Amino acid sequence: MPFRLVLGLYRLLLPLFLFTALPGWLIRMGRRGGFGSGLRERFAIYTRPEEEEPCGAVMVHSISVGETMLALKLIRAWLERDPEQRFVLATGTATGHAVAMEAALPAVRVTYSPVDLRICVSRYLKRFEPSQLVLVEGEAWPHLLMACRKRGIPVSLLNARLSPRSERRYRKLASIVRPVFGMLDKVAAQEDADIARWEALGVARERITVTGSSKFDPGAAALPQQRADFSAMLSVFGAGRPVILAASTHGDEEAWLAEALREVDAVYAVVPRHAERRAEVRAALEKEYFEVVLRSAFYPPLNPVRACLVIDSTGELRDWTAHSTLVVIGKSILGTGGQNPAEAILARKPLLFGKNMQNFEPLASSLVAAGGAIRFSDQTGLAESARILLADPARCSRMCDEAARVLAVHAGATGRMLDLLTA
């Protein structure tokens, strides 16, 4: 199908999609605190005087929390090289926006990325006049890329990775996506195997550079740190008890894990991927006869042995990881794709995850093959692995060493990305 025809259909259907999706979108944004943080900016409506905007800055686009954390990592490293550089950090969700605002970097103007309507994109670029656009694992929207091409604004895609599922989907739509991806000026791929994939999707070979993943770059990340207030909370569950942390869990995984770990002598702490699910998570765990203590309304449990901690906060996972004994990766059990294991590796915590780590391949398989992680297939396997590790600190230490060795392949990725962007 000719691209012009596809673009015409896109321009016809996108407003209809936005109109029908708006109610659900507003509900989600409201639950995540989006109404008080400039929701109108999604439609390029601003309250700040235009003369106060950092025109000519580097514009960085992220989506949710994970991508925003990577964007902030990149920006901090960039500021170390060039303290005078200024940035516009545009997020796609309220949770990502909250993380960006909490960072409170003086050199960064935080906003929302606009919906991909031509009028919104035009107003957005005219207001900020960026020197370049950097997409962090971002979505390459047609109108945004076309407007940048027209204005001579170079566009780069960092941490470019294609899951097998995404690659299959894009290949089926090759005639449609090739003109869009072909407008990317630079692509920072994670590994050599990605080169052919991006070429097949329309990116010229000379525009692709293998840098590794800043997501897994151990040298550029802020290391997890123990905090006194977190230690105080965990102490009421029993001094010296090990902590099994379920990181970034998705629907129904919290109860599944609770049932599996019921007879394992450890504090069960769970960090849902979306904090607004707290009521749902609490109800599911209470059905498993756990006393549930919320991070947001903390109190000492009546029965510490039969209690679990639900960490319903945003942006704290990294430091909670430092307090764990074992880490179970969420979205790898009942969800699809998995979550990032890098923070647990940096914190030197033994890793366990389920069968569904597709979004982090080949890293996940490399970790298992090297003995740096354990992949379980059912509740019995998880419980047995947890017991073995809790009883064998030497094995835990060896696992952490092997995991760090696997992750070291990506060391320096953030610096290589900055070299690419500032060339």
Residue with tokens 């569950």: 237
Could you give the CA distance from residue 98 to residue 91 in angstroms, rounded to a whole number?
9
How many residues appear in the chain? 423
Could you give the CA distance from residue 423 to residue 421 in angstroms, rounded to a whole number?
6
Residues 324 and 284: beta-carbon distance below 8 Å: no
Phi, psi of 40 (to 5 degrees): -60, -20
- Buried b / exposed e along 129-143 (16+ C-beta atoms within 10 A): ebebbbbbbbebbbb
Could you give the CA distance from residue 67 to residue 316 in angstroms, rounded to a whole number?
15
Task: Copy the structure tokens of residue 397.
Answer: 């230490």
Domains and CATH numbers, the chain: 3-21+34-219+412-422 (3.40.50.11720), 228-409 (3.40.50.2000)
State the pLDDT at residue 204.
95
Whole-model pTM: value is 0.78
Q: List per-residue pLDDT tens for the chain, 423 residues long.
A: 677 787 888 888 888 887 787 777 677 666 655 555 567 898 999 999 999 999 999 999 998 888 999 999 999 999 999 999 999 999 998 889 989 999 999 999 999 999 999 999 999 999 999 999 999 987 889 999 999 999 999 999 998 877 666 777 777 777 788 899 999 999 999 888 889 889 988 999 999 999 999 988 877 666 889 999 999 999 999 989 999 999 999 989 999 999 999 999 999 999 999 899 999 999 999 999 999 999 999 999 999 999 999 999 988 999 999 999 999 999 999 988 899 999 999 999 999 999 999 888 889 999 999 999 999 999 999 999 999 999 999 999 999 999 999 998 899 999 999 999 998
For 346, 410, 418, the CA distances from 415, given in Å and listed in that order, are 18, 11, 5
Half-sphere exposure of 51 (CA within 13 A, CB side): 0
Residues 53 and 109: beta-carbon distance below 8 Å: yes
State the pLDDT at residue 338.
92
